[in-house]
Structure 1
């Protein structure tokens, strides 16, 4: 009995020990799981942080080496090509006049050099061709205004009517600007100011239509049979003439002191009250001290090319020069220089000053 009691006690003691062991093991496992669960958020946080850092790194601007010039050019060439402005051929070019050669290799399709006193033709090239004359028109505009003996001190205001609707060209004379007729004429002849020229015609007694009629009447009286005017600025390609006719116009205009003075003025300031505008002569040769220019006018529209007329003196002789439909921006000036050099080195031209022999004629190709 005692032995059985001891055995039961031993069993209970073993059972209690087993419970303790199992309970301890269970607590240990639970503690480990809890520890594991508490550690998992930290791990997740670290992963999220790592991903965030990677994203920020991807978005951050990187220093990229600048591509070489060759690479940049290759990239540009691979793009859609830039559309160039279409070339607008002049009337002279369309007529094939630019294909005509001459001994001086002039860039102008039309050229004429005449002795002002003897009317001797020293050089001619397509001088009877009738072409648009651009702002050479303003020389006739000035002649009509001057010979009408209008009040040069009368104020003229630029209006909406004076805005260029033919070519859309700009002007520094804003609508509402008021200048005297003399100032308008000065700017028209010296700087080829279109609004000034249009305002001169618009304010002529009888209006613009009467003014244009007077331009054509004057041309007819001067024997300019190849000449026609439709407006006073030269923006219209319908204003046309020949080198022969223009030489006549230059000769007559040179007799007018006002036109001589205004057309050869190197520069002119216009006081508008709030500001002062500085205008310069469109002919670069006017400021060249080696040239003696008594009257000049330049012109350009796409249909006419670059144009230039001048009265000048070379080697003691008074000359009239006409250049029409010149291809380059400075080519008309270059042509004048080439003609001058040719004349100065031509023995016949120099000797003719003393009347010993006539000057040679030019190519009429």
Structure 2
């Protein structure tokens, strides 16, 4: 064998074949390639839906009652203030929590007490809400006149203002609540009972027929008419001037002529509103209790206004349920 042939054979033996090279490359690639990642499904943890506890009216099945206006309020009552004719009635004797409508009686007792309206009252920790743990724009130490406290309680439904009014009554809060219940009894409000002056307690209860009596009386007190229908007020809280507004949007509606009003809300009572208003040539007292939905009480009042206006000139056939 020539030296060339021997060298060639030796080179051929040492040179890898294509198949061998591919096999080695494949093994190398397999060793160097990263391990495939395993897809992990993301799990979304949803918070359980906590349903609000039913209002007293819902629990009693009052919302199941049908009415010709399809109201969202389980209780509705409309009375002609001059003739005492009932124009609309839905569950009028149902006794339910009345929330901040309580403040109408609070205001009436304060006014009839004859206590000086310019006397300065101070909000203290005793006025803190221990029922619902709500806050307030009236910090502890805030000092306002009795008239200013009354205004904020009626217009903006300030709970600490209402509580301070009761606490500064002769004999304190206990005597004040007793005066509230005594006044209710004197007005023939037999379904009504109060345990505190703000309405935060669900034990403050009444019926629509009873509340109509309260609205009738309070609407004849000029200071209560003016304060309850005030749309806004600037009050000095320390060195700051703070703007307070009414809780009733209907006061800004030119289609409404409201002489007195009060709104209310706690979970047990739902949305509530009482009013004295002039429409369709009449002075009317309107009560809506236990309304479901953020704006439902206002929508119910609008439905009632349109229905009553459509009857103008006719003798309204009272709707009673």
Same fold (TM over 0.5): yes
Q: Shift in Å at residue 363 of structure 1? A: 3.0
Q: How many residues align?
A: 282
SS across alignment from 2:319: coil
Contact 2:142 2:238 in 1 (8 A): no
Residue from 309, 313, 320 that aligns with 1:351: 313
Counterparts in 2 of 1:77 and 1:206: CA distance versus 1, 3 Å:
farther
Mapped partners of 1:278, 1:139: distance in 2: 22
Correspondence for 2:5:
none
Contact 1:103 1:363 in 2 (8 A): no
Contact 1:314 1:344 in 2 (8 A): yes
Mapped partners of 1:210, 1:196: distance in 2: 17
Counterparts in 2 of 1:76 and 1:144: CA distance versus 1, 3 Å:
farther
Mapped partners of 2:84, 2:116: distance in 1: 34
Query: What stretches of structure 1 of length at least 5 have no aligned partner?
Result: 1-74, 353-357
TM-score by length of 2: 0.86
Alignment pair present for 1:338 and 2:295: no
Mapped partners of 1:128, 1:110: distance in 2: 9
Correspondence for 2:121:
156
Mapped partners of 1:159, 1:309: distance in 2: 30
Correspondence for 2:317:
360
Correspondence for 2:259:
294
Mapped partners of 1:224, 1:211: distance in 2: 17
SS across alignment from 2:171: coil
TM-score by length of 1: 0.76
Q: Shift in Å at residue 359 of structure 1? A: 2.1
SS across alignment from 1:294: strand
Mapped partners of 1:363, 1:227: distance in 2: 22
Q: Shift in Å at residue 207 of structure 1? A: 0.3
Alignment pair present for 1:233 and 2:198: yes
Correspondence for 2:279:
314
After TM superposition, the structure 1 = structure 2 runs for residues 182-261 of structure 1, keeping only pairs within 5 Å, are 182-261=147-226
Alignment pair present for 1:171 and 2:136: yes
Correspondence for 1:139:
104
After TM superposition, the structure 1 = structure 2 runs for residues 40-119 of structure 1, keeping only pairs within 5 Å, are 78-119=43-84
Correspondence for 1:37:
none
Contact 2:127 2:160 in 1 (8 A): yes
Correspondence for 1:181:
146
Contact 2:100 2:157 in 1 (8 A): yes
C-alpha offsets along residues 161-220 of structure 1, whole Å, 9 cap, x if unaligned? 000010001100000000000000000000000000000000001100000000000000
- Bigger-Rg structure (1/2): 1
Q: CA RMSD in A?
A: 1.4
Mapped partners of 1:126, 1:351: distance in 2: 27
